Structure 1
Amino acid sequence: MFQIKNNIILNFILLFSIFALISAFFIEYFLGHEPCNLCLIERIPYILSIIIISLIYLLKKYEKIFLIFLSLIFFCAAGISIYHFGIEQGFIEESLVCDLDKKDNMLSKEDLLKKLNEKTVSCKDVTFKVFGLSLATFNTIISFILGVITTKLFLNYEKN
Structure 2
Amino acid sequence: MHFVTTGICLQFIGSIVQKLALVEGHTMPAQSTVSLAIPEARRSLARMFIDLTMAFHSTIFPLGQEPAELDADLVLVAVAVLLGHAEGHAMNASQIASHLHMPRSTVTARLRVLVERGLIVRIKDQYYLEPDRAANVPQRDKFELILSQGFAVLGPFLSKTDT
TM-score (norm 1): 0.32
Compare CA radii of gyration and give the structure with the larger one: 1
TM-score (norm 2): 0.32
More helix by share: 1
Larger RCO (CA under 8 A, 6+ residues apart): 1
